[in-house]
Amino acid sequence: MLNRDALLACVAETDGDGGCIGVLVLRTQRLRDFEMLFGYAAGEALATALEHRLREALRPVDRLFRIGECDFAMVLPGLKQRQHAALAAGKVSRAARAPLEVCGHPVRANIAVGVATRPHDGTDPVTLCRRADEATLEAVQTAERHAFNSSVERQLVSHDALREAIAANHLAIWLQPIRSVRDGRLHGFESLARWRHRDAWVAPERFIATAEQTGLIGPLTHWSLHGTLRACAPALRENPTLVFSINLSPRAVLEDDVVAAFSAALALWGVPASALKVEVTETAFVSDMPALSEVLRELHATGVAISIDDYGTGYSSMAYLREFPVDEVKLDRSFIQDITVNTRSRQLAAAAVSLAHGIGAQVVAEGVESAQTLALLAEMGCDRYQGYLHGRPAPAAEAIAAMTGGD
């Protein structure tokens, strides 16, 4: 099943024919979660259906390799220019995300496609494939779900460097405003951890993944909680109605006494629990849903609000709404990015808003970048929004200063 050696041999032997060679790596996200819900046979059926779909999207000269349970690599020879690899990745991404027939049911695969080209990203097969694979981490963060590797040579995030950064307070809190759809009034901020290491910004998804894999997610959560409360305490004196959201990894919830830690931090900084909201990522795989639900209910009982982040991008949307004490649902930007031009997207977004309101939850739309999108969200009854239209992330001090100056 696994053809990694054949893939490397193919890359080594492929001639660019005067142009360049492209390598695409497609990673299926949260496959294990999918299999837990629908069974192992469904996981294999998804891989088979996805393989057929990819072959249809590729040119006859392109080569396809299955390199994981539901992961694939593609070699694209004879590309005239680097951008043609991006065009191919876009076609592959759209094909893979279209509904697939799996065990008699339509399923949308949650995928990310990383892109690399020779000679731009490397000349030897191992480097080229690694660079494409690394780029899938960046693709997950894009609406198109495909991306080039953004750096010439990706900086490794080591456990020791991250541990030192947390201990020495070398990370920073940035804030992005969240506003009312109805009147634009400032509702609060989402707190975002940022890290500048060796004169370069480290992507949050990379150092958070390192924290989760190396046992640092507890210390990182503790740092983020106190950093957020430190920033919001003076802002609340100016506007006591503000709510600050902090991202909470399910792994941190299951590994640490989160309820006690949050209560102690709120007391230390003199911040009421009603001013804090925790965002649990809907795309995160949860190995122990009952335990996570119990902790979130205990936290909710203290007055802290619970939000489901990136709603609609994973397999467990309904399970989260059923099991967790949900106060808010945040629609992922992929839900709303084309609602101004795509009727079905608009209908799906409206249905999501209606569903959330039906269980008594408020709705926040992420990634709002145009006035037209905002107007449609208002028609749907969406409650709040965040995005570049009226607020990019900024260092906490700058965001608070802008608030006191304009809101």
Q: Catalogue the active-site residues.
A: 366
**Residue in the block written with tokens 């007391």:** 267
How far, in Å, are 54, 150, 300 from residue 59 at the CA level? 10, 26, 53
Burial bucket for residue 238 (CB in 10 Å: 0-12, 13-18, 19+): exposed
404: Cβ–Cβ under 8 A, 6 or more apart, which residues?
235, 238
d(CA 219, CA 162): 10
Helices within 168-216 (DSSP H only): 204-214
Q: How far is CA 145 from CA 3, 54, 132, 199, in A?
A: 24, 15, 13, 28
DSSP 315: S
Smallest CA-to-CA distance from 19 within 73, 64, 83 is with 83
> What are 22's strand-pairing partners?
76, 117
DSSP state of 367: -
Alpha-carbon distance values, 397 to 136, 233, 403, 404, 406 (Å): 33, 12, 10, 11, 14
Among 83, 88, 75, 78, which Cα is nearest to 23's? 75
Residue found by looking up tokens 């804090």 in the block: 276
Spatial contact of 324 and 296, defined as CB atoms under 8 Å apart: yes
CA distance 29 to 314: 8
Tokens at 57, concatenated? 């999207």
